[in-house]
Amino acid sequence: MIDIQDLVQPIHWRITQSLLSWLTDLLPYGDNIRFPCLQHLFIGYNPDYVCNLVIDTSEEQGVDENIDQQKVIEACKIKILRCSSFDLPLVLVTQTTNDEKNQLLIQQYYELHKRKSFADVFSQHRGKNLRSTSRSTPIATILCSVAKKQIIYTYTQIYDTIIYDSNIVNEIKLNNLQTELEIINKLKSHFLKKDGPRILIIRVDYLTEYKQLLSLKYILLNAIDDESKQPSDHCVWLVIHLQLGMHQTQTQTQTVWGFGFGY
C-alpha cells in the first residue's frame, strides 16, 4: 500500500507534519476525544489536503532547494485560518494553556474574517445590503477573495430565505435540480444572458447533499472554463449550508476542503 509520504519530497512532508502537530495542539484536552474535532474547527478538514497545501505554497515560494520552511509554514497557517469555522475562537478562548498564543490566533481569525461577511460583499454592488430572514442564524462567511467564483460557508439554514437585490443575484437550490443536465443548462443560460442578474448563487445543504459536491465541482469548473473563452462579467457563487455543532460522520474523502474551486 502506497502512503502519501512516499509520494512527496521529504521537506514537504516535514512541513506537513509540523502543521498537523500545530493543528492537533489547538484541540482542547479532555475525555471527549470526538468533540470538538478538527472537522468542526476547519471546514472539511483533511490531513491529505494539508500536504497538498504545503506543496502548492512551496511552489509559490520558489524551487525546493531554496524553500524557506518557516515562511511556508506561516503562509499555510494563514490559508488554513481562512477556512476556520465560527467554532475556532470559541474553542481557543476556553483553553487554559498557551493563552498568549491562543489570543494571537483569535486576533488573526477576526482580522482575516472581519470584512468578509455576505452583507459586506453585496454592499459593493449598487450599495445594497443582504440579510437573512432568520435572526437567530449568523450570515455567511466568505472564504475566498476571487469575485468570479466564491465559496461561502454559512450556518444559515437551507430553508431560510436570504433576501438579495434581484437585479444583481439569481438564486437556485441544488436540491431543486434533478439531473446533471439541468445544472449544466442553468449555468449555460446564466453565462449567455447579456442582461439581468450577473451573480448566480447555488445553495447546497452540506448535510444531505455532500455526496454531490464532487460532481458539482467538475460541472462548475467545466462551465467556467467554457465561459472564459468568451469572457463576461457573470459570476457563480456557492453557498454551502453547514450544521452548527453537529459531529460529521462523512468520510474524509468526501470533504469540502478538497473542492479547490474558489481559493
Assess whether 135 and 95 both reside in one domain.
Answer: no
Higher pLDDT residue, 149 or 128? 149
Q: pLDDT higher for 37 or 184?
A: 184
Q: For residue range 104-119, list pLDDT tens digits in order.
A: 888 888 888 765 556 6
In a domain, 263, yes or no: no
Domains of the chain: total: 2
Asked whether residue 89 falls in the same domain as residue 124, the answer is: no
Do residues 23 and 128 share a domain? no
Residues 195 and 130 in one domain: yes
> Do both 78 and 184 map to the same domain?
no
| pLDDT for the residue numbered 31 | 54
Residue 160 lies in a domain: yes
Residue 42 pLDDT > 50: yes
Give me the percent of the chain exceeding a pLDDT of 90.
11
Residues 74 and 149 placed together within one structural domain of the fold: no
pLDDT digits (tens, 9 = 90+) for 142-192: 323 334 566 777 778 888 888 877 888 889 999 999 888 999 999 888 888
Q: Are residues 191 and 236 in the same domain?
A: yes
Q: For residue 252, is pLDDT > 70?
A: no
58 and 104 both lie in a single domain: yes
- Supply the pTM of this predicted model: 0.55
Segment 204-215 mean pLDDT: 86
Residue at grid coordinates 489547538:
26
| Same domain, yes or no: 31 and 44 | yes
Domain boundary residue among 89, 113, 137? 113
pLDDT of residue 149: 61
Q: What percent of the chain has pLDDT over 70?
A: 69
Q: Based on the domain organization, do 156 and 251 belong to the same domain?
A: yes
Per residue, what are the HEC states of the chain? CCCHHHHCCHHHHHHHHHHHHHHHHCCCCCCCCCCCCHHHHECCCCHHHHHHHHHHHHHHHCCHHHCCHHHHHHHHHHHHHHCECCHHHHHHHCCCCCHHHHHHHHHHHHHHHCCCEHHHHHCCCCCCCCEECCCCCCCCEECCCCCCEEEEEECCCCCCCEECCCCCEEEEEHHHCCCHHHHHHHHHHHHHCCCCCCEEEEEEEHHHHHHHHHHHHHHHHHHHHHHHCCCCCCEEEEEEECCCCCCCCCCHHHCHHHCCCCC
Mean pLDDT for the stretch of residues 6-31: 83
Shared domain check, 139 and 102? no
Residue 48 domain boundaries: 4-113
